[in-house]
């Protein structure tokens, strides 16, 4: 191995006591590959098996905690105990390759496609549609329904524990329900859930209570967030800095900052400072931060660690090059693929639906003939 990259392979102990063998994680990415009724498919297991060998942890694609929170075609379920065997298959597949398995749990809220819901009606904090083309106006959740969803996050955490996962990541990012409660655009409530941090913190408390009641050993609880949103009025960086201050006091294992580019500045104003580094400066001394977004090369990853951010997640990079970490470790970083050949689907073990989405979405991946 080139010693320039040695920092990527230092172990890292999380607050819970779980130790990661290195500083590189697989980012959570929707793959549209689960079976129709919400179980993990063989195609999906093969996809994860191919990518779990080098990273310290795999954060799975999101799984819904209630049926009205399903956000994608081909998404696997964690909303009832009948799915524990399916969840266990995925955990064991990831762990069998040497990585920790972290289950990302979520509710899509108003971003759920109506056709994926039993009643075709998305729900949210308030009856306000997102500022997106073709958006559907959600139904406002009742106070009782909100309480039930909070409980459902804890129930899904118990299922993750019973299925043998090493942890869960609370998906509070990417415009989904937890973010919707935090957003002034989607949360116009006047009850106690109109306090925009109430729902995120209640979900954290529910998850932690499930861990305290059911985990027999160290168990990771992380939280993913998006630092801003494009809606108006929307989440600002100042809002997020206040939220991470609160999250840093919740005994979580990490905060995962969801950005398309680790170094990118604001989407709302002309501030060019990295959103992730602003969060690192605010709370990095109290809670580990995971950086992600356009970290293509091992040089890029080392540059992230040099900022003080202790962990880095790879997304598209691991789809294009499943052996990214192993190649760096073996001193073969020059062999890392940086484009996606149209002939490479089978070799890269990419599920059919995901492959179609990649090929038919110009600009998402650097696809070559």
Given the residues 176, 223, 254, 353, select the one marked as catalytic.
Answer: 176
Residue whose structure tokens are 């549609």:
129
> What is the CA angle 101-145-154, rounded to 5?
25
H helix count then E strand count, the chain: 12, 14
Backbone torsion region of residue 136, taken as left when φ is above 0, otherwise alpha when ψ lies between -120 and 50, otherwise beta: beta
Instruction: Specify whether the CB–CB gap between 234 and 268 falls below 8 A.
Output: yes
Identify which of 50, 143, 129, 141 has the alpha carbon closest to the alpha carbon of residue 97: 50
State the pairing for strand pair 19-20/12-13: antiparallel
Report the SS3 class of residue 27: coil
Identify which of 149, 143, 144 has the alpha carbon closest to the alpha carbon of residue 176: 149
Q: How far apart are CA 21 and CA 98, in angstroms?
A: 9
Q: Element (H or E) spanning 281, and its range?
A: helix 275-283
Identify which of 114, 100, 92 has the alpha carbon closest to the alpha carbon of residue 56: 100
Burial class (CB in 10 A: 0-12, 13-18, 19+), 184: middle
Q: Is 176 considered catalytic here? A: yes
**Which sequence positions are flagged as catalytic?**
176
């Amino acid at each position: 191995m080139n010693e320039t990259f040695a920092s990527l392979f230092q172990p890292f102990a999380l607050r819970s006591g779980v130790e990661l063998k290195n500083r590189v994680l697989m980012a959570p990415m929707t793959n549209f590959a689960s079976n129709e009724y919400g179980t993990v498919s063989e195609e999906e297991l093969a996809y994860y098996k191919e990518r779990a060998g080098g990273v310290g942890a795999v954060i799975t694609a999101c799984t819904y905690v209630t049926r009205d929170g399903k956000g994608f075609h081909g998404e696997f379920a964690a909303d009832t105990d009948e799915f524990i065997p399916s969840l266990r298959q995925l955990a064991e597949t990831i762990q069998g390759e040497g990585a920790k398995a972290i289950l990302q749990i979520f509710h899509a809220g108003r971003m759920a496609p109506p056709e994926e819901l039993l009643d075709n009606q998305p729900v949210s904090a308030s009856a306000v549609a997102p500022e997106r083309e073709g958006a559907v106006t959600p139904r406002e959740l009742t106070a009782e329904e909100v309480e039930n969803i909070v409980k459902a996050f804890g129930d899904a955490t118990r299922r993750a524990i019973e299925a043998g996962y090493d942890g869960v990541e609370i998906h509070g990012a990417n415009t989904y329900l937890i973010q919707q409660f935090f957003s002034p655009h989607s949360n116009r409530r006047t009850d106690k859930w109109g306090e925009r941090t109430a729902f995120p913190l209640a979900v954290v408390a529910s998850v932690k209570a499930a861990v305290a009641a059911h985990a027999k050993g160290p168990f990771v609880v992380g939280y993913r967030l998006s630092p801003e949103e494009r809606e108006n009025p929307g989440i600002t960086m100042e809002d997020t800095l206040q939220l991470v201050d609160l999250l840093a006091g919740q005994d979580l294992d990490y905060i995962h900052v969801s950005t398309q580019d680790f170094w990118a500045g604001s989407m709302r104003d002309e501030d060019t400072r990295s959103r992730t580094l602003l969060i690192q400066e605010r709370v990095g001394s109290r809670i580990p931060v995971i950086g992600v977004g356009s970290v293509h090369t091992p040089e890029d990853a080392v540059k992230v660690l040099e900022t003080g951010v202790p962990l880095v997640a790879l997304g598209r990079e691991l789809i294009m090059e499943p052996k990214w970490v192993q190649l760096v470790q073996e001193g073969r970083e020059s062999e890392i693929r940086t484009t996606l050949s149209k002939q490479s689907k089978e070799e890269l073990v990419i599920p059919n639906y995901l492959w179609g989405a990649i090929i038919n979405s110009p600009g998402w991946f650097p696809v070559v003939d």
